[in-house]
Amino acid sequence: MNIGFEQVTKLFGHSVAVNQINFTIQDGEFFTLLGPSGCGKTTLLRIIAGFYRQDQGNLYFGSRLMNEVPTHQRNIGMVFQNYAIFPHMSVFDNVAYGLKARKVSKPLIEKKVMEALEMVELQHLRDRSPSEMSGGQQQRIALARAVVIEPGLLLMDEPLSNLDAKLRIKMRADIRALQKKLKITTIYVTHDQEEALAVSDRIAVMSAGTVQQIGSPQDIYLYPENRTVAHFIGTSNFVEAVVNKYDAMTGLATILLGTITLKLKLKRNYVGKIWFSIRPERLMIVKERQHPQQLPGVVEQVTFLGGKIQYGIRSEGNQLFEVDHQLSEAGDLLEQEQHVYVDLQLDRAIVFDGLGQEVLYRA
């Protein structure tokens, strides 16, 4: 079932929580709303669930207009951050709850609940009390309870945020596998970009109540459409520079970056401030200067992160560059205070306009 938003706006008093949202989630898709705290993710999810009514615009499930349809008629399974399972009921009864409410026959309840518990690998704990179980297990109960009613849509709001890091990674893989198996349209809310990249078919990156970009994880990571997205997804170094001349014949811009001058072909005629966005794994550090476009700097931070080493390099122009080296390519470890050169590899960067709203160059 497709889920469609048409100019959806929700206000709380005078503040706009979500602003003129327009997009469609495809049938069977794992779709994630990603963005910083307060950007409107939960508000959008609550509008889909029917907990909030939007002030303007329309919500569709398939071709059906849902604006006036109450929550209990929307056929939605939900999993939230705080489990929301009933501590006084057994695991089985927790999962059976929605089926009992729908007056499903006893033998069918037994069959469906056991199938759902098998999916989350809890069948052997059916008679346990959830209060004796771990956070991960409790979240599995919540998941089984959400899917057992065979909902047309599954909504999840930060379902893993109460779990420890290792369990989060395992659970997110399990959730993804279950969703693929059931082919159920799923809308997932998180502020954790790595989690979003790992589980989603598509991601909507939100900021201040608006959708900044919608795309596959690869699209969002490799081709951010504006500075806000580039800033929020992964880590990027943003380096300020100025285009002081644009040659309309060749499309080549003359760019001043600190003490460096370089030429790049921009997408359009542009003069003024720009931003280079460069991923830490794209930067190189060299000990000897090989060409004039390598910025002198000093190693300010060295952080060992297992598979990679993260360096903070303070450049001559007093900018801090984050540079990642995989351990295999690291060669000699650099030391704090060491003098080095940062090779900006600018031809592999993205250039945004001064407002960060338009891509002027992309390799």
Residues that bind ligand ATP (CB under 6 A): 12, 15, 17, 35, 37-43, 191
Shortest separation between residue 37's beta carbon and ligand ATP, angstroms:
3
Shortest separation between residue 205's beta carbon and ligand ATP, angstroms:
12
- Nearest CB to ligand ATP, comparing residues 38 and 354: 38
User: In what side-by-side order are the strands of the sheet with 76-80?
Assistant: 76-80, 153-157, 185-190, 30-34, 202-207, 210-215
* Count of residues making up the chain: 363
- Nearest CB to ligand ATP, comparing residues 80 and 361: 80
**Helix or strand or coil: residue 198?**
helix
The token duo for 205 is: 């990156």
Q: What single-letter DSSP state applies at residue 72?
A: G
Shortest separation between residue 347's beta carbon and ligand ATP, angstroms:
36
Comparing CA positions, the residue from 85, 69, 183, 173 lying closest to residue 135 is 85
- Nearest CB to ligand ATP, comparing residues 40 and 215: 40
> Do 359 and 212 form a contact (C-beta atoms < 8 A)?
no
Distance of CA 333 to the CA centre of its chain: 32
- Nearest CB to ligand ATP, comparing residues 43 and 137: 43
Shortest separation between residue 295's beta carbon and ligand ATP, angstroms:
37
- Nearest CB to ligand ATP, comparing residues 154 and 340: 154
| Residue 217 backbone dihedrals phi, psi, to 5 degrees | -55, -40
Find the largest Cα–Cα distance for the chain.
78
Shortest separation between residue 38's beta carbon and ligand ATP, angstroms:
4
